[in-house]
Amino acid sequence: MVMTGNYASAYGAKLSRAEVIAAYPITPQTSIVEKLAEFVSSGELRAKFIPVESEHSAMAACVAAQTAGARTYTATSSHGLTLMHEVLMWASGARLPIVITNVSRAMAPPWSVWVDHMDSIAQRDTGWLQFFCQSDQEVLDTIIMAYKACESRSVMLPAMVIEDAFILSHTSEPVDVPDQELVDSFLPAYAPELKIEVGKAMGFGSLVKPDQYMEFRYKAMQGMEDARERILSVEKEFKHIFGREHGGLLERYRCDDAEVVLVAAGSVASTAKDVVDAMRAKGVRVGLARIRAFRPFPHQELRALGSKVDGLAVLDRSYTFGAAGAMFTEVKASMYSLQRKPAVKNYIAGLGGRDITPRTLEKILEDMLVVSKRGAEDEVEWVDVAGLPRRWR
């Protein structure tokens, strides 16, 4: 079928047999919940659809339903996600494997409905797994895989599947919608060890004194660490059944013998593959490393890559004020323990929906080839900003 990323999200939730969907509409997420509302009203999906009055309530409803043992789903974007922030923390602390789609969109002001990763990046410390997708197909597949990985006994944490605003959410692409029976064989019903049960008095979310708080956080940390292996094993099984894979935590594209590698997340990484091919055809040894999982962060994978290259050009589609791009700071931290460290430079690009063209990506890689030999004037550079020297188009 040819469908948008938003419909791919809706199909992903439907195929995963989400039992409770609570959502509040926001551009550009709206068509996800519209489609799911259709599925529920037509009876194609047996689920309770709760139209709530805010995103905070949407996540609260998911938390409650998941605590009662239901598989839940919601979708949001930008300000909706940040309004959920408090309850996102609750979901992970309560070890509820909720899956949401965040249609990643810039934060206002200035008001913008376009792609930017600030909303998602701002939630990196909430204890959620975060997957940045590059195609509509990956969105659908990742939702199904996220439920399976997150519901593992050793993980039991929620996951955020991130699709770029408009570039994926509203772009129609061929998407293979797998058979329900196959998905059912891959993803069994949700069966948590602990849940609210009628007739059994239990208290959830109770106060824990300083003598036990750290132990619970330690367990959540173990869950996130175990997620690394689970993401890989779940994807391996997915590939066996459905014939597709999306690159684990860090997708490497033509990185062998590369001098310089572009590190990026989301849809821009897809465009970058064309750029890498074109530059390789001219004999320039470049590659792409796509950060698919931002949480858990692929430190090991990046170290293995970093020890073999001269330079890493880290593209961030958001900026952490007072520091640098979040991908960059993580990548750089990963490199610290290496004996032979590559040069690492941060390129801030594509904020608020600014198009990142193949030409811009080529220029970034060309710049990095120079930087890896001579060092960088600035470690963090904003790309294609009016008023700065125009050297990116």
Residues that bind another protein (CB under 8 A): 2, 27-28, 93-95, 113-114, 134, 156, 164-168, 170-174, 193-194, 200-208, 211-212, 215-216, 218-219, 223, 267-268, 270-271, 273-274, 353, 355-358
**CB of 93 or CB of 248, closer to another protein:** 93
104 beta partners: 164
Q: Give the Cα separation of 268 and 130 in Å (integer).
A: 17
Which burial class, exposed, middle or buried, applies to 283 when counting CB atoms under 10 A from its CB (0-12, 13-18, 19+)?
exposed
CA distances from 336 to 42, 165, 272, 303, 374 (A): 55, 33, 26, 9, 20
Taking the C-alpha atoms of residue 259 and residue 252, their distance in angstroms, rounded to an integer, is 14
The two tokens of residue 97 are 């494997």
> Are 96 and 89 spatial neighbours (Cβ–Cβ below 8 Å)?
no
| CA distance linking residue 4 with residue 115, whole number of Å | 15
- Minimum CB separation from another protein for residue 155, in Å? 10
115 alpha-carbon distance from chain centroid: 13
Least Å distance, CB 218 to another protein, is: 5
Enumerate residues 6+ apart whose C-beta is below 8 A from 304: none
Q: Say if CB 103 and CB 128 are below 8 A apart.
A: no
Spatial CA neighbour of 346 closest among 323, 318, 380:
380
Which CB sits closer to another protein, 246 or 332?
Answer: 246
Is 135 or 372 the residue whose CB approaches another protein more closely?
A: 135
Determine the residue type at 278.
A
Which helix (H) or strand (E) element contains residue 132? strand 129-132
Nearest distance from residue 329's CB to another protein, in Å?
A: 25
CB of 185 to another protein, least distance (A): 27
When the beta carbons of 100 and 268 are compared against another protein, the nearer one is 268
Nearer to another protein, 207 or 281 (CB): 207
Q: How far is the CB of 196 from another protein (least distance, A)?
A: 10
Given the structure tokens 């490497």, which residue do they identify?
252
First to last CA, the chain: 35
Report in angstroms how near the CB of residue 25 gets to another protein at its nearest.
14
Cβ closest to another protein, residue 142 vs residue 270: 270
Of 74, 53, 54, the closest CA to residue 63 belongs to 74
Residue 27 vs 82, nearer CB to another protein: 27
Q: Using CA atoms, how far apart are residues 17 and 13, in angstroms rounded to an integer?
A: 6
Least separation in angstroms between residue 338's CB and another protein is 31
Nearer to another protein, 90 or 238 (CB): 90
Contact 329, 316 (CB under 8 A): no
Output the smallest distance, CB 250 to another protein, in A.
18
What is the closest distance, in whole angstroms, from the C-beta atom of residue 21 to another protein in the complex? 23
Smallest gap from Cβ 336 to another protein, in A, equals 28
Smaller CB separation from another protein, 106 or 371 = 106
Q: Is residue 331 exposed (0-12), middle (13-18) or buried (19+ Cβ within 10 Å)?
A: buried
Cβ proximity to another protein: between 193 and 378 the closer is: 193
